[in-house]
Amino acid sequence: MHTFGTLHHTHLHHIKTNIISVILVLICLPLILFPNSVTARENDYECGQIQVAMIEVGTLFYKLPDGRFSGIDKDILDALSLRTNCQFKIRIESQARLWAQMRDGNLDMSTSGIKTAEREKWAISVPYFSARNYALLNSNLPAAEQTAAGFIANKSLKIAIIKGFQHGKRYNEFIETLTKQGRVYEVADFASLLKLFNAKRVHCILLIPTSYLDLSRQKNLPDNAVLRDWYSSDAFVAGLYLSKAKVSTKTIQLLQTTMNTMYADGSLERIFSRYVGDKLAKEMMLDARQMSPPQ
């Protein structure tokens, strides 16, 4: 009896151990299979719905023939939503209205915003790519006028820009010089920019590679146009901008941390590559030190 009792006790012990093991596996299984979903549920109360204003420009954000939107920024928002459970409610705005709303505390977030000291006063940036502008010129211009200095020297030449855009330090200085001479047209969007150039009302517009590549792929490049790299070191950093007045500090930190994770695990570069190819994707990637500081 004693031996049987010992065996029976041992058997019961094994059964209890196995039951506990099964319970632990069931508890941990969601963490293993769906790590992002579990994290999202934990952070759901913190994030909620975020109003995002976006502009249609190149491969960053554009409308498909069926009416849906696509692009680098759209994919980044989708990835952030999946990982955090933040719900991004998108609306289309002009660049000028977007920044006015952000400054006045009437907008939660924007995408692909260039970092500037002014914007940092009322919003927090979450960087995710780097780029620089190129000058798209009428190829009929003499070679001397296809340089920045030569373009400035001929006071009959004009440029068009999108109102509210920042272009990098050197290009901003270039535009300021022409503005003082009454040689700058400001328009609301990218489509209007192209119309002015195609109508030969201006001799130059500025494009980042994602916009130029999109025009090239769609065979929409203006006739008699040539691309010039006037300021090769004039790169800028761009990313999300989140209103200090509208978005909580914890939500901002959550998005910063998640964006850094997407940078580290290669997700950002894969999104870039999907739209611009591997070579340009690598050029768009920031140095790790340019990303948001660890929280």
pLDDT given at position 45: 47
Give the percent of the chain with pLDDT over 70: 84
pLDDT given at position 63: 87
Higher-confidence residue of 289 and 38: namely: 289
Distances (CA, A) of 235 to 16, 182, 208, 247, 286: 63, 26, 10, 28, 11
Least confident of 45-49, 89-93, 125-129, 172-176: 45-49
Considering 24-33, 161-170, 240-249, the range whose residues carry the highest mean pLDDT is 240-249
pLDDT given at position 46: 62
Domain 134-228 class? alpha beta
d(CA 91, CA 111): 12
| Eight-class DSSP state of 214 | H
Backbone angles phi, psi at 267, to 5 degrees: -65, -40
User: In 10 A of CB 198, how many CB atoms?
Assistant: 14
Mean residue pLDDT across the chain: 85
The full set of domain ranges for the chain reads 39-131+236-290, 134-228
d(CA 119, CA 98): 12
pLDDT given at position 295: 64
Distances (CA, A) of 36 to 43, 110, 137, 220, 256: 10, 24, 47, 40, 16
Answer whether 39-131+236-290 and 134-228 agree in fold: yes
Q: What are 157's strand-pairing partners?
A: none
293 pLDDT band (50/70/90 cuts)? confident
Does residue 223 contact residue 48 with C-beta atoms inside 8 Å?
no
- Strand pairing class (184-187; 159-162): parallel
**Residues with Cβ < 8 Å from 131, sequence gap 6 or more?**
208, 209, 210, 235, 236, 238, 284
- Which structure tokens are listed for 155? 């006071």
Least confident of 14-18, 186-190, 206-210: 14-18
Q: What is the mean pLDDT of residues 288-293?
A: 87
User: In 10 A of CB 234, how many CB atoms?
Assistant: 17
Assess whether pLDDT exceeds 90 at residue 44: no
User: In 10 A of CB 184, how many CB atoms?
Assistant: 16
Least confident of 25-29, 116-120, 203-207: 25-29
Higher-confidence residue of 76 and 214: namely: 76
Q: What is the pTM of this model?
A: 0.79
User: In 10 A of CB 3, how many CB atoms?
Assistant: 7
pLDDT given at position 103: 92
Give start and end residues of each alpha helix (H) in the chain: 2-33, 35-47, 72-84, 95-103, 148-153, 169-180, 190-198, 209-217, 249-264, 267-284
pLDDT given at position 143: 96
Could you name the CATH architecture of 39-131+236-290? Answer: 3-Layer(aba) Sandwich (3.40)
Q: What share of the chain is helix, strand, coil (3-state, %, to 5)?
A: 50, 20, 30
d(CA 206, CA 204): 7
